[in-house]
Amino acid sequence: MSDTVEKLMDAAESGIRLRGYHAVSFRDLAEELGIKSSSVHYYFRQKEDLGIALVERYAERFFAALDAKASKAKTPEDRIRAFARTYRDALTGSDRICLCGMLGAESCGLPSTLSDAAAEFLQANVDWVAKTLSGTMKPKARKRRAAHIVATLQGAMILASSLKDYSIYDSAVQDLLAA
Amino acid sequence: MSDTVEKLMDAAESGIRLRGYHAVSFRDLAEELGIKSSSVHYYFRQKEDLGIALVERYAERFFAALDAKASKAKTPEDRIRAFARTYRDALTGSDRICLCGMLGAESCGLPSTLSDAAAEFLQANVDWVAKTLSGTMKPKARKRRAAHIVATLQGAMILASSLKDYSIYDSAVQDLLAA
DNA sequence: GCGCATATACCTACAGATAGATTGGCTCTG
DNA sequence: CAGAGCCAATCTATCTGTAGGTATATGCGC
């Protein structure tokens, strides 16, 4: 992957996670890189294509980071903690909410391929947590707990970002994992 | 408040909660009401003014509905349940996420007066929950629990909306309030 | 080592649509 | 007649997306 594509995707991901899909334009991205907007179209024919590429890259990186952390964990509880830490690293490393949390919120206003991609990431998150909890809980309780955990992490990011107080994320997660 | 203003605000609130602030335009709103976009500017000089009016109306209605439900509750636990139900009614009554959850997510891309208004609503939510928990917990634990509760509800709405499965909201909340 | 094709990585220029916003004026009602 | 409510016309800025061109590099047959 060329340097320009990488920088383009970095700028786009950052913009969407901060301000939303519709607040990011090819022109702004181009300007940030010192190129023309038509050159952005050279790499991504449509904005939708860029969005999907971003979700794919994001999902890859997220699950790679998650696996790296979770594989060291001994207990299911520790693996859930690794999950929360992976979310937290994304937040504190950049002060940005989750890409797919943002796209999930905007989903009704997105091209359906893109909202589907974001939904897939979120579902994969819930599934990962549910799978990780297996052995410790019954299926129904596990499903509820998984939804709860992912919802809390996504919501806590938005809360922290809106209130400009990132300790809120830690507060919410501490209480979530206290039980 | 005239009929047109009301309808305008309804359409705008619905659009923002479904698709986000930047995906809603004066032209679309006007078209939905069968008037011209210049007439929308007659009622709201700038888009920002419309946004702020929406948050104010939303907050008023939310806390009115919340107080009506919570005043009937006997225990702190029941009041928290009333809080979750108020959120849920907003979601299931319209299949839309919270207005201020959406604006909170987009906050970095909004006029600061608007993102401040959204943040104020979210903070008021956290404060309400924290206040309601007083007597049952110590201050620090209360603060954490309040952040946790609001984060979960906001996140659960987004999850449900993105996955197009509103039972996810109930799952998350059931697990949240089980303890 | 030369000529030619092809690919990469941009560019200029622009189309067509849409954004938010303004000005001035019409019409109806009290 | 005054004001509320609305529209026509228009401005400027910006959006996504397209068409076609240019400079440079790379590979390939001869």
Question: What pLDDT is stored for residue A136 in this prediction?
Answer: 73
The distance of A148 to chain B (nearest Cα, Å) reads 4
- As ranges, strand C nucleotides with an atom below 7 A of a protein CB are 8-14, 18-24
Got the DSSP string for chain B? --HHHHHHHHHHHHHHHHH-GGG--HHHHHHHHTS-HHHHHHH-SSHHHHHHHHHHHHHHHHHHHHHHHHTT--SHHHHHHHHHHHHHHHHHTTT---HHHHHHHTGGGS-HHHHHHHHHHHHHHHHHHHHHHBTTB-HHHHHHHHHHHHHHHHHHHHHHHHHT-THHHHHHHHHHHH-
Indicate which of B21, B108, B128 best probes the interface with A, i.e. most A CBs within 10 Å of its own CB. Answer: B108
Average pLDDT estimate for A152-167: 95
Instruction: For Cα atoms B131, B136, B140, give the angle at the middle one, nearest 5 degrees.
Output: 65
Measure the CA–CA gap between A151 and B160, rounded to whole angstroms. 9
**Mean pLDDT value of segment B148-156:** 97
B-chain residues near A116 (CB < 8 A): none
Domains of chain A with CATH codes = 55-178 (1.10.357.10)
The reported pLDDT for the residue numbered A89 is: 84
- Convert the pLDDT of each residue in A17-65 to its tens digit: 999 999 999 998 898 888 988 889 989 999 999 999 999 999 999 999 9
Asked whether residue B92's C-beta has any atom of DNA/RNA strand C within 7 A, the reply is no
Q: Is the pLDDT at A80 greater than 50, yes or no?
A: yes
Check CB contact under 8 Å for B20 and A105. Answer: yes
- Give the whole-angstrom CA distance, residue A122 versus residue A143: 14
Flag whether pLDDT at B26 surpasses 50: yes
What DSSP element (H or E) covers A113?
helix A112-133
- Contact at CB, A175 and B147, closer than 8 angstroms: yes
In DSSP terms, B134 is beta-bridged to B137
Q: Which residue in chain B is spatially nearest to A111 when comparing CA positions?
A: B19
Instruction: Assess contact for B9 and B53: CB atoms under 8 A.
Output: yes
- Does residue A122 surpass a pLDDT of 60? yes
- Mean per-residue pLDDT for A73-87? 92
pLDDT grade, residue B91 (50/70/90)? low
Taking CB atoms and an 8 Å limit, are A20 and B105 in contact across chains? yes
pLDDT tens per residue across span B30-42: 988 889 888 999 8
Can you tell me the mean pLDDT for B169-178?
Answer: 94
Confidence band for A1, pLDDT divided at 50, 70 and 90:
very low
Question: A164 CA to chain B: closest CA distance, Å?
Answer: 9
Query: Which pLDDT value is given to residue A91?
Result: 62
Taking the alpha carbons at both ends of chain A, their separation in whole angstroms is: 44
